[in-house]
C-alpha cells in the first residue's frame, strides 16, 4: 500500500526542498501605484444628446402655455375673449352692415367719447368714490358751449371753455363730497338733478343747431394715420394715464387711498387733495366728451347726455375696477369701453328696441360687480398694485 504524499504548499507543484531553496513560484509582477489610477474616460460623442441638459423646446412650450393660461385667467384675457365673441355675434346678426365704413367711423368716435371720461371715472372709483352726475354735466357743458357757438365764437375759443366748465363742475362735486362729507353717490345724485335742471333753464324749450362745421371737420372727419382725431386723442390719454398709474408715485397713492384711506393718510399721502384732483379731472374729461359729442352730432337739446353716465360706469366696472376702490387698470377700462359700445352699436344694427340697450348696460354692471366679488383674484390689477 502506497503511503500518502504531502500536498505542496500554495499548489506550487514543486518539491518542498526546491521551494525552500528558491521560494514559491511567483505570478506576474503588480504595481499598486499604477493599479490605483483609473482608466481614462472615453470622450463623449458631440452628436449625442446630453441626458442632463434641459429640453429647451419643452421649457419654451411650457412657458408659452403658462403665459396663455395666465392671460386667459386675468380679467383682461376674459374681456378680450368676450370682445371677440360679441364682435362675431354682431357681424352675423347685422348681416355685414357692421363693417361698413360709416359705421366703423362712427363707432370709433363713440368709443372715444365714452373712453375719455371713463379714464377719469376709473381714477375716481379707484379712490373709493363715484360720480353719477356726468351725464347731466355733459348736457350742461354742451348747452353753454352751444350758446357760445350760436353767439359766433370760434371752435378754438370755445374748446377751452368746455374743459374749464367741466373741471369747474367736477370741483363743485368734490367740494360737496369732501367739504360737506357727503357720500359720493348721494352728492352726485343731487348734482345730477341740479345740472339737468340747469340745462332746462339754459335752453328752455329750444334746440341749438348752429354748431360750426369746423368742429366736425377737426375731430370727427379728419384722421391721424387711419383713426379719427377724436379716437387718437382718447388713445393717447389712455396710454398716458396707464403709465401714470403704473409708474408714478402719485398713481400708486391713488391705489393706496382706495385700499385704506386712513392708512394712506397716516403714511403721509394727501388723501383729500388727490380725491379732489380726480373729481376735477373727471369733470374736465367730461367737458372734452361734450365737445366731441357736438362734433359728432351738431345738436344740443334738453336730453343731451341723458344716460351717458350709465355707459361710462358700465365700461369701468366691466373692465375690472372695483367700486370699493383700490383695484383696476386703464387697459381693463379700454376693453370694457369697446365692449359696451359694441353692444350699443349691435342693438341699433340688429333693429332691437332701444330700451334694451339700457337693460343690457344695467345687466353688465350687475354681472361685473358680482364677478369682481366672486373672483377677486381674476380681476384686473391687484390691490395696491400700480395698474
- Tens of pLDDT, residues 323-350: 999 999 999 999 999 999 999 999 999 9
Phi, psi of 50 (to 5 degrees): -80, 115
> Is residue 53 classed exposed, middle or buried when 0-12, 13-18 and 19+ CB atoms within 10 A define those classes?
exposed
Band the pLDDT of 384: cuts 50, 70, 90. very low
Measured at the CA of 335, the angle between CA 161 and CA 247, to 5 degrees, comes to 75
Give the 3-state secondary structure of residue 324. Answer: coil
Q: Which CATH number fits domain 71-378: 3.40.640.10, 2.60.40.10, 1.10.10.10, 1.10.3470.10?
A: 1.10.3470.10
Q: What is the pTM of this model?
A: 0.80
- Tens of pLDDT, residues 139-175: 999 999 999 999 999 999 999 999 999 999 999 999 9
pLDDT at 44 exceeding the cut of 70: no
- The residue with cell 389712455 is 238
Give the 3-state secondary structure of residue 304. Answer: coil
**Exposure of 94 in the CB half-sphere (CA atoms within 13 A):** 20
Compute the CA torsion angle 226, 229, 234, 239 (nearest 10 deg).
60
- Which residues lie below 8 Å from residue 369, measured CB to CB, with a gap of 6+? 317, 323
Instruction: Tell me the mean pLDDT in the region 254-263.
Output: 96
Share of the chain above pLDDT 90, in %: 67
pLDDT at 69 exceeding the cut of 60: no
Amino acid at each position: 500500500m502506497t503511503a500518502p504524499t504531502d500536498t505542496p504548499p500554495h499548489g506550487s507543484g514543486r518539491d518542498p526542498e526546491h521551494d525552500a531553496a528558491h521560494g514559491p513560484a511567483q505570478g506576474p509582477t503588480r504595481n499598486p501605484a499604477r493599479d490605483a489610477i483609473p482608466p481614462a474616460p472615453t470622450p463623449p460623442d458631440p452628436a449625442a444628446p446630453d441626458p442632463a441638459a434641459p429640453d429647451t423646446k419643452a421649457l419654451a412650450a411650457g412657458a408659452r402655455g403658462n403665459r396663455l393660461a395666465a392671460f386667459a385667467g386675468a380679467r383682461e384675457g376674459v374681456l378680450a375673449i368676450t370682445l371677440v365673441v360679441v364682435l362675431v355675434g354682431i357681424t352675423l346678426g347685422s348681416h355685414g352692415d357692421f363693417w361698413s365704413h360709416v359705421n366703423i367711423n362712427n363707432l370709433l368716435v363713440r368709443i372715444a367719447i365714452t373712453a375719455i371720461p371713463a379714464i377719469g371715472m376709473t381714477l375716481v372709483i379707484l379712490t373709493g368714490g363715484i360720480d353719477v352726475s356726468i351725464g347731466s354735466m355733459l348736457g350742461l357743458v354742451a348747452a353753454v358751449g352751444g350758446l357760445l357757438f350760436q353767439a359766433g365764437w370760434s371752435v378754438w375759443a370755445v374748446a377751452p371753455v368746455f374743459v374749464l366748465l367741466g373741471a369747474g363742475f367736477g370741483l363743485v362735486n368734490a367740494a360737496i363730497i369732501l367739504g360737506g362729507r357727503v357720500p359720493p353717490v348721494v352728492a352726485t345724485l343731487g348734482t345730477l338733478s341740479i345740472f339737468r335742471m340747469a340745462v332746462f333753464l339754459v335752453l328752455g324749450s329750444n334746440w341749438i343747431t348752429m354748431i360750426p362745421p369746423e368742429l366736425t371737420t377737426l375731430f370727427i372727419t379728419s384722421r391721424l394715420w387711419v383713426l379719427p382725431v377724436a379716437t387718437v386723442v382718447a388713445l393717447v390719454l389712455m396710454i398716458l394715464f396707464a403709465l401714470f398709474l403704473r409708474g408714478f408715485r402719485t398713481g400708486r397713492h391713488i391705489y393706496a387711498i382706495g385700499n385704506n384711506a386712513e392708512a394712506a393718510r397716516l403714511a403721509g399721502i394727501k388723501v383729500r387733495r388727490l380725491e379732489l384732483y380726480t373729481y376735477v379731472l373727471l369733470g374736465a374729461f367730461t367737458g372734452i366728451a361734450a365737445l366731441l359729442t357736438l362734433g359728432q352730432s351738431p345738436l344740443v337739446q334738453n336730453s343731451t347726455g341723458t344716460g351717458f353716465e350709465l355707459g361710462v360706469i358700465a365700461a369701468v366696472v366691466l373692465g375690472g375696477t372695483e367700486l370699493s376702490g383700490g383695484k383696476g387698470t386703464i387697459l381693463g377700462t379700454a376693453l370694457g369701453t369697446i365692449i359696451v359700445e359694441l353692444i350699443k352699436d349691435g342693438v341699433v344694427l340688429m333693429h332691437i328696441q332701444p330700451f334694451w340697450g339700457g337693460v343690457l348696460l344695467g345687466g353688465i354692471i350687475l354681472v361685473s360687480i358680482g364677478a369682481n366679488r366672486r373672483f377677486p383674484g381674476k380681476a384686473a390689477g391687484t390691490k395696491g398694485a400700480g395698474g
